[in-house]
Structure 1
């Protein structure tokens, strides 16, 4: 009787090895079954009578010649997972196909592939975060995206199957983890390909997906490619590439994208990755030039218009007095207005540049120019965020941190003209 029960649990066969459908372990081998997409799936069009009488027989009995033996739909933890993995395989094939061509893919083509990756990432992330498949129903948003043409009978939950909820949850988590690795690898292949031009929209989509997958390890390298990757010329055969200038203004990483990447690196507790992201985003010449251009545009326009506006106002005021000549009053009034605007603007600039209320643990060293402080404020803020994430949360214990990572962070702050935990600015040390 015990042997019959054991035999009934063995429902899969692959490469001569039996796999238990309850604990999902392979007999004669210790590894776990992977590569779900390689299994041959019996379709719903086949009636039960047309299928093989034994689940251990290969699909050759149906007149087909697949490379792997069949597996019935009941042996999967969920049809949603199966359909999602199948769509992932189709996506991988499509990406490999257009990456192998000696053509420059358009931005819309790349964005379509990335949007599909995002949908699959959201679904597998939900499975990873909540592995109990009994609570995941096809009626959800992710299920509707992946299960559009399914039968009601295919949407059985784990509670109606032979697998226990714990086994199903572990199985689904393993499938989701492997699928997320494949998606992240596909994203990196798309970004690294020499024929793919990374635009700002593509960069934002890539960063969002990798952060959603919780795999930000390649973000720093993708930022380097965004600024210095050779640009392909699409209308030439053979393809030619132009060298990109990493210091151009258009090569600056957007601030929101850099913040998203830094938050993901902090979440995985990877200090070298955090420092690399800071180095290749807010610390680059391109970012500083872009920030200077954006920040100095309105003040420059105001400075250029001030003398003319002051002269017009002074000339109008000169006509309302009789104490002196109109020309003399116009000159005096123009000089006074310009002096007043220049003085107040200078005081405001000094007040903004020397403000330190937003600083928590990382401050500027004495002697750093005010202009440099304004331009590099985002760099200091990012370093401050990293220091707060790696240090003690209790303000009373600040300064007690130790270890190689903390010493490296403190040394890096000193090299960049910053001070980590300036004693003079600590609470109670004024």
Structure 2
């Protein structure tokens, strides 16, 4: 063996002797008691008994203190609730200055410039959104606090304005500024502008102006620059391009439902789903592919019939082609009619608002989105429990029931209610 190996062996023996000097030896046990040393619990106990503890205290310690579960979440929640309210005066000033600069600019503003002005309003709306429905606002001053506010001279000290009132006032200013920007005569409304406007009003909880802006999307005069002047050109409000996109309409309706604004919800349904632009857009969107399939169908059936006629020798080929073509077209028409009827009469998606008896299937299919929107409104304003449907009352519910009845629909039809069929 080499000299290094001999030195390593001696050092290893010295280490073992030192460890055996500090670690007490345990006698070997026979029988079931000896099995405990090989179990996990026995190994932990044996290792715990063999750990060498120094006689002198350590000069430093590295220990990790584990916090109880849920402390981080509670801290984050408390931080969110106690988050300071932004400078409301500064937000209002920035929004109003942006509005004034935008409206004072002459000519037809570019679409990007309009989006930049609306994004300023959106940033301000997002800043005060967490504080609009806070429950930790200071309550209004009571009679006792008013008496205590009297100074020594008997004059009443003016109490500071309530924080929630200042936030609501700032939200109103932001909402009005966005409305003035969108409804400006020289602004050309686009789907991007409408979507950004809906986001602003949804964050502020003020969807009352959304139906008005949606109606302007199709009826607003188009500004055209003619020399140094601006000429306004009328547009056809019944064109298919004047329809509101279904996703944007659903988003606006959700904002009205969240704000519990029944007038805004009904107005969104009227401007988005009841006009001829929506019908034309739906026909173009849903009937394009079926039309491409239906148009060549007679030619395909005639080609198959002419080939089938040559396989029969007892009848004239021309007569056989006509008979086969008539039977083939009858089969196609009958089968497709059954499919259309099944598609138009399905009622699984209806919850509270159903069609009144006598409404044609064609009209049901064309107005299905309108019925679904009214169904969403009824579910939002009524009771959540199914066994309480039909017990609602109040002026708003009575008006909603009458409005749905005038549209050829029934709210809470007794035949379809739980336990009544």
**TM-score normalised according to structure 1 size:** 0.67
Secondary structure (helix, strand or coil) at the match of 2:112 reads helix
1:227 aligns to what?
Answer: 218
Aligned to 2:101: 97
2:112 maps to which residue? Answer: 108
Alignment match, 2:173:
182
Distance 1:307 1:110, change over 3 A: same
Q: Aligned runs of 1:307-386 on 2, under 5 Å?
A: 307-319=298-310, 322=313, 324-386=315-377
Shift of 1:324: 4.2
Does 2:234 match 1:206? no
Gaps of 5+ in 2: 1-81, 137-161
| 1:261 positional shift | 1.4
Q: What is the Cα deviation at residue 232 of structure 1?
A: 0.7
- Give the secondary-structure state (helix, strand or coil) at the position aligned to 2:232: strand
Distance in 1, Cα, partners of 2:130 & 2:261? 24
DSSP-derived class of the 2:207 partner? coil
Task: Please tell me whether residue 413 in structure 1 is matched to residue 404 in structure 2.
Answer: yes
Aligned position for 2:53 = none
Deviations 1:383-424 (A, max 9, x none): 111111111111111111122211111111111111111111
The answer for the alignment partner of 1:57 in structure 2 is: none
| Alpha-carbon distance in 2 for matches of 1:338, 1:114 | 57
Q: Which runs of 5+ in 1 are unaligned?
A: 1-76, 133-169
Q: CA deviation at 1:298?
A: 2.5
1:111 aligns to what SS in structure 2?
helix
CA distance in 2, matches of 1:94, 1:306: 59
Superposed counterparts of 1:380-395, under 5 Å: 380-395=371-386
1:240, 1:296 → 2: CA distance? 37
- Give the deviation of 1:347 after TM superposition: 0.7
Q: Which residue is equivalent to 2:237?
A: 246
* Mapped partners of 1:399, 1:174: distance in 2: 37
TM-score, normalised with respect to structure 2 = 0.68
Shift in alpha-carbon separation, 1:400–1:128, aligned structure 2, 3 A: closer
* 1:162-213 C-alpha deviation (Å, 9 max, x unpaired): xxxxxxxx86x66654443332122101111111111111111111221122
Residue 404 of structure 2 corresponds to residue 400 of structure 1 = no
Question: Is it true that 1:120 corresponds to 2:120 in the alignment?
Answer: no
1:306 alignment partner in structure 2: 297
Match of residue 248, structure 2, among 223, 246, 257 = 257
Aligned residues: CA RMSD:
2.7
2:223 and 2:95 map into 1 onto residues whose CA distance is 24
Report if the CA contact (8 A) 1:125-1:176 is conserved.
Answer: no
Contact 1:102 1:239 in 2 (8 A): no
Is the 1:363–1:420 contact (alpha carbons within 8 Å) kept by the matching residues of 2?
Answer: yes
Partner SS for 2:369: helix
The SS at the match of 2:260 is coil
Match of 1:292 in 2: 283
1:271 is displaced (CA, Å) by 1.6
SS in structure 2 of the partner of residue 217 of structure 1 = helix
Pair 96,381 (structure 1): closer, same or farther in 2 beyond 3 Å? same
d(CA) in 1 for partners of 2:84 and 2:311?
A: 86
Distance 2:301 2:291 in 1: 16
For residues 18-45 of structure 1, the C-alpha deviation after alignment (integer angstroms, 9 at most, x for no partner) is xxxxxxxxxxxxxxxxxxxxxxxxxxxx
Equivalent pair of 1:261/1:277 in contact (CA under 8 Å): yes
CA distance in 1, matches of 2:380, 2:115: 33
Max Rg structure: 2
Cross-structure match for 1:422 = 413
